[in-house]
Amino acid sequence: MSGEVDKSKRRLLGVAAGAMGGVGAAGVAIPFIASMSPSARAQAAGAPVEVDISKMEPGQRLTVEWRGKPVWILRRTPEMLAALPTLAGELRDPNSEEEQQPDYAKNPLRSVIPEYLVLVGICTHLGCSPGFRPEFAPADLGPGWKGGFFCPCHGSRFDLAGRVYKGVPAPLNLEVPPHRYLGKLPDTKDRIIIGTDPENA
Ligand code: FES
């Protein structure tokens, strides 16, 4: 399955609203699921999702759905990566000590390949879907903002590794889901599977 390029926050919120609607409607969803194809049924039940990332531009984010949740894939630019170490003092869990990621993403960049970040796009406060705010120092987020995710519900802030800032309502970093790249690292980066671990993990 291939992902779709996000064009706007509204679209992302639409995905999140769909995810939450799926949870709320679970009790009446059986006839709908029964009418799905076998592969669609497997995916709704939590099967891994394969995503083509070969055409992603630096700075671009894709959103796909896995287990009814929005999952973001971000291709970080060199500038984005360079900013991350400068933020450690402002973050609640800069080294990912809390169990919010698989062991292979337990590092400050929270990724297998530095360039690519994979996150579940659901705020760890009360479950809203934060907006993607990759720009540096926008007027509404202040001069210290070096790109990240901003949750409009109660103002939680996360950096471009999904690490939560101190002093906001969200208690934990955004979750990194299990994922692996198809092919031999580090050369092959054209497909990613969400929902399954690397063979050597
Ligand atoms: S749900 Fe994100 S800040 Fe409350």
171-193: pLDDT as tens digits: 999 999 999 998 665 566 789 99
Percent of the chain whose pLDDT exceeds 70: 74
CATH of 4-194, one of 3.20.20.210, 3.40.228.10, 2.102.10.10, 3.40.50.300: 2.102.10.10
* Paired residues of 192 in beta bridges: 51, 181
Using alpha carbons, select from 164, 73, 69, 86 the residue that is nearest to residue 113: 73
Domain boundaries defined on the chain: 4-194
Of ligand 1's listed atoms, the one at least distance from the Cα of 154 is 3
Q: What is the pLDDT of residues 46-75, one digit of tens each?
A: 799 999 998 899 999 999 999 999 999 999
HSE-up (13 A, CA, CB side) for residue 163: 28
Stronger pLDDT, 29 or 195, i.e. the higher one: 195
Q: What is the pTM of this model?
A: 0.79
Average pLDDT score over the chain: 83
Active-site pick, 154, 166, 185, 186: 154
* 125 belongs to the catalytic site: no
Instruction: Compute CA distances 41 → 36, 68, 77, 178, whole Å.
Output: 6, 12, 36, 20
Question: What is the predicted pLDDT for the residue at 29?
Answer: 36
Question: What is the predicted pLDDT for the residue at 44?
Answer: 61
Token pair, residue 149, equals: 């995710």
Contact 22, 68 (CB under 8 A): yes
Q: Which residues line ligand 1 (CB under 6 A)?
A: 123, 125-128, 151, 153-156, 169-170
Cα(125)–Cα(146) distance, integer angstroms:
22
Q: If pLDDT is split at 50, 70 and 90, which confidence band does 21 have?
A: very low
Q: How far is the CA of 1 from the centre of ligand 1 (A)?
A: 30
Question: What is the predicted pLDDT for the residue at 189?
Answer: 72
Q: What is the pLDDT of residues 67-113, one digit of tens each?
A: 999 999 999 999 999 999 999 999 999 999 999 999 999 999 999 99
Cα(114)–Cα(194) distance, integer angstroms:
17
Of ligand 1's listed atoms, the one at least distance from the Cα of 126 is 1
